[in-house]
Structure 1
Amino acid sequence: MTRFSAALALALAASPALADDDYIPPVTHAATQEECGACHMAYQPGLLPARSWSAIMGDLANHFGENADLDEATRAEIEAYLVSGAARRTRSIPADETPLRISELPWFKHEHDHEVSQRMRDRAKTMSNCVACHRGADRGYYEDD
């Protein structure tokens, strides 16, 4: 399978089994890169379902303990981008749940078991610092370094 077809398959399925291909299309939207990337890695839309992105973008005044408010036009533009590229099939997430943290998803927990979690704490200091262990994460590559 070519890298393109693997990425396309992952994008279409948006399967939480990310580790199978270790690639998810990167953020290509300028406002998302600028606004979200100012504080943390701009996470790929395909990492969460649409309902999660809507919930996150709907409460930016309380963005994981920080005020990340944006003007309404920018907020709506970023939300539309995230929702349009969101995970389509989320087999491991019940339909009545709206996860807000990628690190709480079943596939993430599976891939970051206790041994990996200890190395992450030593190297990354936080579960949200993907680029500490996956140097290509901002470009969509999640193979281990």
Structure 2
Amino acid sequence: MSRQRRSAGFTLIELMIVVAIIAILAAIALPLYSDYVARSQAVAALDEITSGRTAYEERANNGDSDATLYTTVDNLGMQQDTERCHVTVTAPVNGVGEIICQIKGNPEVKDRKITLARNSSGNWKCQTTLATRQTPKGCYP
């Protein structure tokens, strides 16, 4: 009686199915990961300008009216250009002012802005030009 040897291993169709499944999973995962990276860059950018809010508020509450105390970013304990932001500040007019971060980063967030806006009552609001899915918590597109 002769025995047939069965070949061991995977057939071509089985390998093609595995490759197709991996491609589908990658097609789903890559955009999600890209959004995750963009959001993390936005959160880091917001963190960089949040530190200047305290110094800005202190100067505004002391009645400092010299615009250079605000618009010179160094006076607020921040740097104008960082790894994540190009920071600009507007001096308060009737108590209203802004700290603005123009984001540096991947193409999805590059040149978008996060703004900490102070109203005349001294309350701060975070606004942004980012897409909703990339917006840090507490900010509004």
TM-score grouping bracket, smaller chain normalisation: under 0.3
Tell me which structure has the larger Cα radius of gyration. Answer: 2
What TM-score does the superposition give when structure 2 sets the normalisation length?
Answer: 0.24
Bigger relative contact order (CA 8 A; separation at least 6): 1
User: 1 or 2, which has the higher helix percentage?
Assistant: 1
What TM-score does the superposition give when structure 1 sets the normalisation length?
Answer: 0.24
